[in-house]
Amino acid sequence: MTVVNGTEPAIRADARRNRAQILAAAQRALAERGTTVSLAEVARRAGVGAGTVHRHFPTKTDLLEAVMQQRVDGLAALAAERLTDPDPGSAFFALCAHVIITTPGNKDLCDLVQSDDGWPRALLRGAGNRFHRALGALLASAQRQGAVRADVVVTDVLDIFTGCVAIQRHRRADDPLAPAVALILDALRTRPSPVTEPRKVIRNETGESSETPSACPVCDARLRRSTTGRPARYCSAACRQKAHRQRHP
C-alpha cells in the first residue's frame, strides 16, 4: 500500500491510541461494576464511539479477554523485573502483596476466566504461562536466598493468592494488606517475622499489666466483674497493699 504524506502511520497511531483508551476504560468499568458492564458504557468512558469499540473488539468476550491478558502480562513483566532485585526475598513478598492488593477489583473477571465455559483462550493462556514462569523464577531465587520455605511451589502461591484476594476484597482499594493476609504470607517465610511474634503486654507506669486479669495476681482468687468504674485488679485491699509492697520493698 502506498503511504501518502504519512497518513497511514497516523491512522495506525490513532487506532493504537483508541485501543489503549478502550482497554483502560474497560479495566476501570469492570473494577467498579463487574462483568455486567456494557460495551456502550465502555465506549462512553473511553470517549469513543460504540463502532470504534466493536472494530477493536467484535464481542464482549474479546474485550474481557484482552483486559485480562493485559493485566496478567503486566504482572508477568513486574515479576520479571523483580528478578534483578538484590534482595529476592523482599522482591517476592512485594510482588505477592501487589497481586493481592490490586486483584480484588478484578475478581469478577478472574472468576469468569476460571469458569468452565471454554476459557481461557490461547491468548490468555499464554499470558498466564508467562506469569507462572516469572513467578516461579522469583520464588526459586527467594528460596535460594533462604527467605522462603523450600517446600513451597508455584501452585501453593497461586492458591494463597486466591484465598488472600477473597479476604482483601472486604477492604478499600487504598488499604494496606489485611492482618489475616499478612499472617498467611508470613507462613511462607523460613523464619518468623514481627507479624507472627506474640504480642507483648504493655504495662503502665505502675508496673501493672494493661490487660484485665481474670484472677487476683496475689492470691489467685477469681475477680468479680463490675459493670461500672475501672475493672478490679485485686480481690481485696489487702492483696492490693501486698502487691504494692512487693513492687516497692
Mean pLDDT estimate for the chain = 77
Confidence band of 24 (pLDDT split at 50, 70, 90)? confident
The stretch 8-27 carries a mean pLDDT of 80
How many Å apart are CA 164 and CA 187, to the nearest integer?
13
For 141-164, the pLDDT digits (tens) are 999 999 999 999 999 999 999 888
Question: Would you state the pLDDT for residue 157?
Answer: 93
Ramachandran bin of 47, using left for φ above 0, alpha for ψ from -120 to 50, beta for the remaining angles:
left
Question: Would you state the pLDDT for residue 204?
Answer: 44
Q: How far apart are the first and last CA of the chain?
A: 100
For 190-230, the pLDDT digits (tens) are 976 654 444 444 344 444 444 445 667 766 666 666 555 56
Q: Burial level of 29, CB count in 10 A (0-12/13-18/19+)?
A: buried
For 58-77, the pLDDT digits (tens) are 888 888 888 888 888 888 99
pTM above 0.75, yes or no: no
Confidence band of 11 (pLDDT split at 50, 70, 90)? low
Question: Would you state the pLDDT for residue 134?
Answer: 94
Q: Is the pLDDT of residue 119 over 50?
A: no
Question: Would you state the pLDDT for residue 154?
Answer: 94
Confidence band of 30 (pLDDT split at 50, 70, 90)? confident
Q: What are phi and psi of 210, to 5 degrees?
A: -80, -10
Question: Would you state the pLDDT for residue 185?
Answer: 94
CB contact set of 231 (below 8 Å; sequence gap of 6+): 212, 223, 225
The stretch 100-122 carries a mean pLDDT of 58
Contact of 205 with 213, CB cutoff 8 Å: no
Question: Would you state the pLDDT for residue 93?
Answer: 95
For 181-200, the pLDDT digits (tens) are 999 999 999 976 654 444 44
Contacts 24+ apart (CB under 8 A), 173-178: 173/104, 173/105, 176/101, 177/97, 177/100, 177/101
CB contact set of 32 (below 8 Å; sequence gap of 6+): 105
The domains of the chain, with CATH numbers, are: 7-186 (1.10.357.10), 204-249 (no CATH)
The stretch 88-112 carries a mean pLDDT of 78
The stretch 72-94 carries a mean pLDDT of 93
